[in-house]
Amino acid sequence: MKKLIVLFLGLSTAVSAQNYSELMAKSIMHTHKDSIAVKAGKPAGWDYEQGLVLKALEHVYQRTGDATYFNYIKKNIDSFVDANGNIRTYHFDEFNSDNITTGRMLLYLYQELGDERYKKAADLLRKQISEQPRDADGGFWHKKRYPNQMWLDGLYMLEPFYAEYGQITNQDNWPDIVKQFQLMYKGAIDPKTGLLFHAYDQAKAQPWADKSNGHSPNFWGRSMGWYVMALVDVLDYMPKNHPSRGILIQQLNQLSGAIAKIQDPTSGVWHQLPGYPGKKGNYFEASASNMFVYAFAKGVRKGYLPVSFRKNVERGYAGILKEFITKDAAGYIHLEKTVSVGGLGGVPYRDGSYDYYLSEPLRTDDLKGVGPFILASLEMEIAKELAIGAGKKVVLDYFFNHETKNGNRFHYTWEDRKDSGFNQWGIQFEQLGGTLDTLGVSPTRENLKGASVYIIVDPDSYKETAKPNFMTAKAADEIEAWVKEGGNLILLANDTTNCEIPQFNILAKRFGIEFVAPNLNFVQGRNWEQGAVMIPAGNEVFDPIKKVYIKEITTLKLSGNAKSLVNHLGYPVMATAKVGKGKVFALGDPWLYTEYTNNRRTPLEYENFLAAKKLAIYMLK
C-alpha cells in the first residue's frame, strides 16, 4: 500500500481534524482487528508489547469516553485469562520480567469490573515477583536465562505493576521497588554524561560486561526510554508523602536532563545510539523519541520536572510527526523507523556493540513505538487544556456522604473505578489542570480555603448509614460564606427515596434552590428514552450537547437569583446561581458517576461523558 509522508506544518485536513492519539489507536486496532499479534504470522501471545499498547488504549478511553477502546482491551485480555485466572501462553518458570507488563491490564479490569478472575491472574504474576531470582545485592534478574543481569527495560516491565498491585491490596512494596531503581541507577550510570548504559551484570561475568563495573558497552535510546517511563508511571501510585519519593523524582530529573542534552538540535528527535550523534549508520529512532516525549510531558504535567522541559517536549513531538508519521491511501496513519529489538547475550550472541545495535531491522507500526506515540500524543492533547484548571483544587465531600459497603467507602468517591465511583470525572478534572482532594469533616471556611470547587453529592439518610452527618445551619453558613468569597459549589442530590433531602435543603435554599417532588424519569430496564433529557441550544454550560441521560431526577423549586439551566417535562432539573464572587450548580441526581459516563451501556447519543467535562470546565473557569 502506497504511503504518503505527512509533514508537521502541512497536515492534510483528514489528519488534522482528529487527535493523533485517536488516529493511531484506530489505525492499530484496524491492523490488529481481533487481538494484538506481536509477531507477524504467529498467533497472539501474552507479551509486553501487547500490554504496552493496551495501556495506551486505556488512556485513550479515559480521554474520549469511547467504549470501543474498553471493549477492545477486554476482548484481548479475555482471550488469555480463563475462569480460574490461568493465563494462556504465560510460563511462570521462565521468570521473565517482560511477562509482568500486561498484568497492569489485569489490575485495570479488576478495578473497573470487580471480576475475581482478573485478580487471580494478577496474583499469579505477583507470585512470580515474589520468587523472581535476584543478584547478590537483591536486584531482580531480567529473566531466568539472564543471571545476575539488570536491564533498564526490566524496570518498566515489572515495577509499575508491582506498585499498583501494592496499592490495590494494601501491600507496602515500596522499599523493594525503590531499591530496584536505586540498584539499576547505580549499576548503569555513566558519571561523565549522566546517561544510563543498557544493562549491567552484577557478577561481571558476561562477555559483554565491563570487568571493572559490569556495564554493557553502550547507551541505547529505547532502554533509557523504558526507564524514564517506568519512573513517571510508578510515581502515579506512590504516596505523595512517602519518604523515598524524592529519590525517584531526583533520578527522573537527573536522567531527563542528560537525555535533553542529546536531543538532536535540528530534528528534535533522538538517535538509536545517543552516544554517537552523526556517526555513520546511526539514525533517528521512533520508539525512544516517543518515550522521551511522553515521560518529559507527563513529568512536567505532574510537577516532577521543571516547566523548562516543555520546550524539549514541543520540539520532540514536532520532530516525531515530521520524521516518523506517514499516512496511507486509506487514511490510516503509521509509525516508521522503530527498531525491532535490542538485547544482550543470547543465541545468536549480541555483544552490545555499536554495530550490533545498528544491525537490528526497523519496522513500521512496531508496537514498542506505537504505544508510546499514543501516550505522547495524549500528553500533548491534554497540555492544551491544562491552563483551565491550573492551580485549582477540586474537593469532593466525604462527610455528608460517607456510605460504606463491606467496611469500605462506597458510592461517589474519586478512588472508586467501578460504576458507582467518580474516578472518571476526577480524571477529567485532572486533565483540565485541576488537583483532587476530599473533605471528610464538616466544611468550614478554613478547611475549604484553597478549594476552587466543592462537590456535595447524595447526602446520607438513615437508609444508607446508621449515623448520617446531616447538613446544619452552621455548616451552611460556612459554605455560603466560602461561595460568596469566590468558591464554586456543585450540589448533586438524588431521588427523594435515596437521598436525605430536607436537611440538604438548608444549604440549597441559601442560593434560591430547593430539591422537591415530583421525581422524573423512572426508567424500566434499558428503555433509554425514558431517561432522555434534552439540552437547549446555546446552553451556557453544556453547549453544543443536545441530549443526556438522567434517571429518577428530583425536580427543583427556584427563587431569588437562581435560574433554570435545563427544564424537563415542564420542571427545572438543573439550575445555577451567582452568589457573590462564586457560583452554584444544582441537579437532583448524582448523574456523573461512572456508570453513566463510561458509555459501556448507554447509547452514544447520550453525551454524559462530554457533559461531565463541560460542567468541570464551567466550574473551574
Q: What is the average per-residue pLDDT within 250-259?
A: 98
Quick check: 15 pLDDT over 60?
A: no
**Terminal C-alpha separation, the chain:** 47
Is residue 227 within a helix (H) or strand (E), and if so which, with residue range?
Answer: helix 221-234
- Strand ranges, E, within 30-117: none
Asked if residue 68 has pLDDT above 60, the reply is yes
Helix pair angle (245-261, 174-188), 10° resolution? 30
**Long-range Cβ contacts of 113-116 (<8 Å, 24+ apart):** 113/418, 114/418, 116/85
**Residue-wise pLDDT tens digits, 569-600:** 999 999 999 999 999 999 999 999 999 999 99
Q: Using CA atoms, how far apart are residues 591 and 485, in angstroms rounded to an integer?
A: 27
Q: Which of 47, 98, 135, 153 is catalytic?
A: 153
Question: Using CA atoms, how far apart are residues 184 and 388, in angstroms rounded to an integer?
Answer: 39
pLDDT single digits (tens) 365-407? 999 999 999 999 999 999 999 999 999 999 999 999 998 888 8
Please provide the average confidence, as pLDDT, over all residues in the chain.
Answer: 95
Cell numbers placing 614:
463541560
Catalytic: 153? yes
The pLDDT of residue 77: 97
Provide the β-strand partners of residue 98: none
pLDDT in tens, 416-427: 999 999 999 999
Average confidence (pLDDT) over 311-337: 98
The answer on pLDDT for 523 being more than 60 is yes
Per-residue confidence band for 498, with pLDDT thresholds at 50, 70 and 90: confident
Q: How far apart are CA 509 and CA 559, in angstroms?
A: 9
Residues 6+ apart with CB under 8 A from 27: 332, 333, 334, 365
Give 409's pLDDT tier (boundaries 50, 70, 90).
confident
In the predicted structure, residue 16 carries a pLDDT above the cut 80: no
CA 407 and chain centroid, separation: 27
**Spatial separation of the C-alpha atoms in residues 601 and 407, rounded to whole Å:** 28
The answer, yes or no, to whether residue 219 has pLDDT greater than 60, is yes
Position 160 scores a pLDDT of 98
pLDDT for residue 328: 96
pLDDT of residue 13 exceeding 60, the answer is: no
Peptide bond before residue 518 is cis, with ω within 30 degrees of 0: yes
pLDDT at 387: 98
Angle (CA) 329 335 341, round 5°: 140
Q: What is the pLDDT of residues 284-293, one digit of tens each?
A: 999 999 999 9
Residues 6+ apart with CB under 8 A from 186: none
Cis peptide before 348 (omega within 30 of 0): yes
- Dihedral of the alpha carbons of 152, 156, 162, 167, in degrees to the nearest 10: 130
What is the predicted pLDDT for the residue at 10? Answer: 35
Here the cell at position 154 is: 526490566
What does the pLDDT read at residue 143? 98
Band the pLDDT of 408: cuts 50, 70, 90. confident
- The whole-number pLDDT of residue 6 equals 39
Band the pLDDT of 3: cuts 50, 70, 90.
very low
- Percentage, residues of the chain above pLDDT 70: 97
pLDDT (tens digit, 9 = 90+) per residue, 146-196?
999 999 999 999 999 999 999 999 999 999 999 999 999 999 999 999 999
Residues 6+ apart with CB under 8 A from 254: 194
SS3 259: helix
pLDDT at 568 over 60: yes
Summarised one tens digit per residue, pLDDT across range 334-370 is 999 999 999 999 999 999 999 999 999 999 999 999 9
**What are the grid coordinates assigned to 7, written together?**
509533514
Element (H, E) at 585: strand 582-587
Q: Does residue 295 surpass a pLDDT of 90?
A: yes
Query: What's the pLDDT score for residue 2?
Result: 37
Residues 505-532: what's their mean pLDDT? 96
pLDDT at 260: 98
